[in-house]
Homo-oligomer: A and B are copies of this chain.
Amino acid sequence: MEPGGLLDREPVIAAVGPESFAAAMAEQGARVTRVGWEPPPLDAHLERLWRDDVDAANRVAIERLLAAHPVLVDVRPAIEVVPGMRRGLVLHAGPPIEWPRMSGPLRGAVIGALLYEGMASTAEEAARLAGSGRIDFEPCHQHAAVGPMAGVTTASMPVFVVENRTDGNHAYSTLNEGLGKVLRYGAFASEVIERLRWFRDVLGLALGAAVRETGGVDARALIGQAVQMGDECHNRNRAASALVIKALAPALAGQDLPAAERHRILAFAGGNEHFFLNLGMAACKAACDAAHGVPRSSLVTAMARNGTDFGIRVSGLGERWFTAAAGSPVGLYFTGFGAEHANPDIGDSAITETAGIGGFAMAGAPAIVQFVGGTPADALRYTELMYEITLAESPAYRIPALGFRGTPTGIDARLVMQTGILPQINTGIAHRDPGVGQIGAGLVKPPRACFDAALHALASELPDD
């Protein structure tokens, strides 16, 4: 067969942008189709950020993000390892927030944590204490920690200790509780508190001993494998969870514990498809923190939500948060629930997207669409789109469906504003009332205003060209 070649036919021109281009071609007799797309309105502050020193700063920051080598090295009580942790301090997901503005699930989790720590004996008492000014609330992110959903972390909770072997920094996250009634969705019933106490008294100690005996678990290698096994390590952690259990099972099985506890530990871990989630988040936090603090860099190093506000942090902008009202996820709800029951977006788990997995790796996790809505083709598109706003492709996390291309990694806030493409975040959906728990899962985007505010701050601090 001899198909008609491109040059055998009269050309048809699609003109995008200034009318003068289209008019000039039309004058020469060409058939011109005018396409109604225009670049986003230019902003003097944004314009000012496209310069060599910002590019150079971003090269330093992205290199640190890509070079990070997070390894699980221990499990310890938070008070022993999390910087600044103290009794009376409650860490939470997202940007800073005080009790009066907290949403239902975060309040529920705070109440549960105070009950668990023995600082109150009833929910009412805990709520009064929380609002009394005698409890300090600070973001996990400011303590090298991250937590899914409410993210509440207190002194005696065991935490994964992840070391970035490249730069030596550490990051921390609590143990995942599984589904159903759990603290991170704001539940504080006695079964929730009992489970947390078993974490403290048995599971955390056993995991810590197993990790130390094993000599550490290479979280980067494990995520790399899981991304080739259909996980995006945010809403889907099936492979990563099985792999970390496989790695720790020998040491756990060999411990000097009653047979029933050995059994319970592995049954609990094996029964939780998200056992890996918090560990993966700590690995991502360790990588993002390594990239934080590069002057003039526009690399996004945190995206986090407290259930009321969405906040981002940017490498070159120190400890500041840039916040706006948290949006609502769009997704699939469990039977009996709908958007009217949903709390606004909550949790530190968007650290996965910040580090190049989660929603950014959906092309490798097509089965996830059965959980958050959409088709496998959508999953491919989400990842393809994220290459537009990222600075690099991960050498460690590669997607078979894209010919082993690395995941889009390292959000440049400038590219977000210039393209108008917002980061794609996978997330769970919490009921807006405390104590109910998860009611669905879906997709959500950050407010554009966070990026706009951050870029204005960055631009205003740049020296003159």
Residues of chain A touching chain B, judged by Cβ–Cβ distance below 8 Å, are 1-4, 9, 12, 14, 31, 33, 225, 228-230, 238-239, 241-243, 245-247, 249-256, 259-260, 262-267, 269-270, 366-367, 375-377, 400-401, 403-404
Contact = CB atoms under 8 A, between A and B. Distances in A.
The winner among A2, A33, A250 for most chain B CB atoms within 10 A is: A250
A262 B270 contact: no
Given A245-B246, A376-B401, 20 more contacts: A1-B12, A4-B4, A4-B9, A229-B229, A229-B239, A239-B242, A242-B242, A242-B246, A246-B246, A246-B270, A250-B264, A250-B267, A251-B263, A253-B262, A254-B259, A254-B262, A254-B263, A262-B262, A376-B403, A377-B403
29 contacts: A1-B14, A3-B12, A229-B230, A229-B239, A239-B239, A239-B242, A242-B243, A242-B245, A242-B246, A245-B245, A245-B246, A245-B249, A246-B269, A249-B266, A249-B270, A250-B266, A250-B267, A253-B259, A253-B263, A253-B266, A254-B260, A254-B262, A254-B263, A256-B259, A262-B262, A366-B400, A366-B401, A367-B400, A376-B404
Given A400-B367, A401-B376, A403-B376, A238 B229 contact: yes
A253 B249 contact: yes
A33 B2 CA distance: 9
Contacts of A401: 366, 376, 401
Contact of A263 (B4, B241, B243, B250): B250
A285 to B, nearest CB: 25
The winner among A1, A12, A256, A266 for most chain B CB atoms within 10 A is: A266
A375 to B, nearest CB: 7
A270 B33 CA distance: 61
Nearest to A242: B242
B242 A270 contact: no
Top 4 closest pairs, chain A to chain B, by CB? A254-B263, A253-B253, A242-B242, A366-B400
A9 B251 CA distance: 71
Given A229-B229, A245-B246, A403-B376, A253 B239 contact: no
B400 A375 contact: no
Contacts of A239: 229, 239, 242
A270 B247 contact: yes
A225 B241 CA distance: 14
Contacts of A267: 250
Nearest to A6: B4
A118 to B, nearest CB: 31
A406 to B, nearest CB: 15
A107 B368 CA distance: 48
A151 B62 CA distance: 51
A404 to B, nearest CB: 7
A44 B192 CA distance: 73
A375 B405 CA distance: 13
Contacts of A251: 263
Nearest to A258: B254
A230 B226 CA distance: 10
A210 B375 CA distance: 39
Contact of A1 (B3, B33, B270): B33
A297 to B, nearest CB: 34
A263 B263 CA distance: 13
Contact of A376 (B243, B366, B400): B400
A4 B253 CA distance: 68
Contact of A250 (B2, B229, B242, B270): B270
A174 B254 CA distance: 26
